[in-house]
Amino acid sequence: MKHTQDFMVVANTEKKVPEDVRIRGRSRQMRIVCLAVLILGCVVDSFAQGVNLRGTILQASSTEGESTGLRDNVDYVPLPGAYVRWSSAADQIEISDVFGFFKITSSYIGDTLVVSMLGYETVGLVYAGQKFVEIPLESGVYLESAEVTGTRKSVNLNLLDPVNIQSLNRKELVKAACCNLSEAFETNASVDASFTDAVTGTRQIRMLGLDGKYSQIQVDNLTGPRGLNVIQGLMFIPGDWIHEIHISKGAGTVTQGHESMTGQINVALKNVETADPLHVNLYANGAGRLEWNHVSRHKMSRRWSTAILTHALRNNQLNDRNRDGFLDSPLKRHYIGRNEFKFIGDRGVRGEYAVNWIHSRVAAGQRTAYGDNLPWSDVMSMLEGPSEKGWSAITAIDRIELSAKTGFVFPDAEWRSIGLQVVFSDHHNQHRFGDQTYRGKERFFRGNVLYSGILGNTNRSFTTGMSFVTDRFDERVSNLDTLREHRARHEMTPGAFFELNLKLADRFNIIMGARYDQHNLFGGFWSPRVHSRWSVTENTSIKLSAGRGFRTANPFMEQLGSWASQRTWHWDAYGNFQPEIATNMGLNLTSKFRLNYRDASFAFDVYNTWFENKVVVDLDRNAQQIRLYNLEGESFARSAQVEFNWDMHRRLDLRVAYRWVEAHTDRTIGLPSQDPFVSKHRAFTQLSWASRQTEKSSQWLADATLQWMGSQRLPRTNSNPEGFNRPDMAPGFVQLNVQITRQFSETFSVYGGVENALNYRQERPIIGADYGGETITSSDFNQYFDASLVYGPIFGRMVYAGLRWNILPSD
pLDDT tens digits along 252-272: 889 999 999 999 999 999 999
359-387 average pLDDT score: 88
Are 405 and 419 within 8 A, CB to CB? yes
Give mean pLDDT, residues 185-199. Answer: 90
Q: Looking at residue 66, what is its pLDDT?
A: 44
Residue 48 has pLDDT above 80, yes or no: no
Mean pLDDT of the 116-120 span: 82
Q: Which of 528, 577, 532 is nearest to 554 (CA)?
A: 577
With a CB cutoff of 8 Å and minimum separation 6, the contacts of 508 are 532, 533, 534, 535
What's the pLDDT at 23? 39
Mean pLDDT on 279-290:
96
> What's residue 573's pLDDT?
62
Residue 661 clears pLDDT 80, i.e. is over it: yes
Q: Give the integer Cα–Cα distance in Å for 746 and 19.
A: 89
Report angle CA 557, 224, 556 to the nearest 5 degrees: 5
Interval 243-251 mean pLDDT? 93
The pLDDT tens digits for 373-383 are: 788 888 888 88
**Mean pLDDT across the stretch 97-118?**
82
pLDDT of residue 140: 59
More confident residue, 542 or 778: 542
Count of alpha carbons within 13 Å of 455, Cβ hemisphere only? 10
Using CA atoms, how far residue 338 sits from 31, 96, 237, 402, 542, in Å, is: 58, 35, 10, 10, 40
DSSP bridge pairs for 592: 601
Under the banding of pLDDT at 50, 70 and 90, the label for residue 72 is very low
Is the pLDDT higher at 373 or at 516?
A: 516
Whether pLDDT at 454 is above 50: yes
- Please give the distance of CA 171 from its chain centroid, rounded to a whole number: 17
CB under 8 Å to 328, separation ≥6 — which residues? Answer: 287, 319, 320, 321, 322, 794, 795, 796
Total residues found in the chain within this entry: 811
Cβ atoms of 515 and 527 within 8 Å: the answer is yes
pLDDT of residue 107: 80
| DSSP 8-class letter at 744 | -
Tell me 309's DSSP state. E
Candidates 187, 193, 181; CA nearest to 238 is 181
Please report which confidence band the pLDDT of residue 181 belongs to, taking 50, 70 and 90 as the band edges: very high
**Residue-level pLDDT at 16:** 40
Confidence of residue 773 (pLDDT cuts 50, 70, 90): low
Residue 471's pLDDT is 98
Average pLDDT, integer, range 641-668: 94
pLDDT at 723: 84
| Residue with more model confidence, 745 or 128 | 745
Q: Which pTM value belongs to this model? A: 0.84
pLDDT of 32 > 70? The answer is no
Residue type for position 794: I
pLDDT at 602: 96
pLDDT of residue 19: 45
pLDDT of residue 754: 97
For residue 778, CA distances in Å to 442, 527, 569, 769 come to 36, 52, 21, 11
Name the region of 209 (left: φ>0; alpha: ψ -120 to 50; beta: rest): left
In the chain, how many H helices and how many E strands? 6, 44
- Paired residues of 640 in beta bridges: 606, 660
What per-residue confidence (pLDDT) applies to 222? 96
Mean pLDDT lowest for which of 655-664, 673-682, 778-787?
778-787
Q: Taking residues 449-473, what's their average pLDDT?
A: 94
Q: Residue 35 pLDDT > 80, yes or no?
A: no
Phi, psi for 377 (deg, rounded to 5)? -65, -35
- How many CB atoms lie under 10 A from the CB of residue 280? 17
Average pLDDT over residues 753-774: 89
In degrees rounded to 5, what are phi and psi of residue 361? Answer: -135, 130
Backbone torsions φ then ψ of 379, nearest 5 degrees: -60, -45
Mean pLDDT of 769-789: 85
Q: What is the mean pLDDT of the chain?
A: 87
C-alpha closest to that of 309 among 343, 281, 289, 267: 281
Alpha carbon separation from 701 to 19, 70, 744 (Å, rounded): 100, 10, 11
Which whole number is the average pLDDT over 729-739?
96
The answer for residues whose C-beta is within 8 angstroms of residue 266's C-beta and 6 or more apart is 218, 219, 220, 221, 245, 246, 248
Contacts of 611 (CB under 8 A, 6+ apart): 580, 581, 582, 631, 634, 635, 636
**pLDDT band, very low/low/confident/very high, at 775 (cuts 50, 70, 90):** confident
Q: Measured on CA atoms in the order 246, 251, 253, 259, is the torsion positive or negative?
A: positive
| Average pLDDT value for residue range 708-725 | 92
**pLDDT for position 151:** 58
Residue range 286-318, pLDDT digits in tens: 999 999 999 999 999 989 999 999 999 999 999
d(CA 261, CA 614): 12
CB 724 within 8 A of CB 717: yes
If one compares 581 and 483, the residue with the highest pLDDT of the two is 581
Distances in whole angstroms, Cα of residue 809 to Cα of each of 163, 275, 294, 302, 712? 34, 9, 16, 17, 49
Query: Which among 613, 604, 584, 680 is positioned nearest to 645, based on CA atoms?
Result: 604
Amino acid residing at 376 = W
pLDDT > 90 fraction of the chain, expressed in percent and rounded: 62
* Predicted pLDDT of residue 24: 46
Return the higher-pLDDT residue of 123 and 310.
310
More confidently predicted of 795 and 771: 795
Please give the torsion angle defined by the CA atoms of residues 436, 401, 217 and 421, in that order, rounded to the nearest 10 degrees: -150
Range 401-434 burial, b when 16+ CB lie within 10 A, else e: bebbbebbbeeeeeebbebebbbbbebbbbbbbb
d(CA 253, CA 31): 64
Average pLDDT over residues 92-97: 83
Distance CA 756, CA 286 (A): 12
Band (pLDDT 50/70/90 cuts) for residue 74 is low
| Least confident range of 241-245, 365-369, 573-577, 801-805 | 573-577
pLDDT of residue 613 exceeding 80, the answer is yes
Give the C-alpha separation, 733 to 763, whole Å. Answer: 12
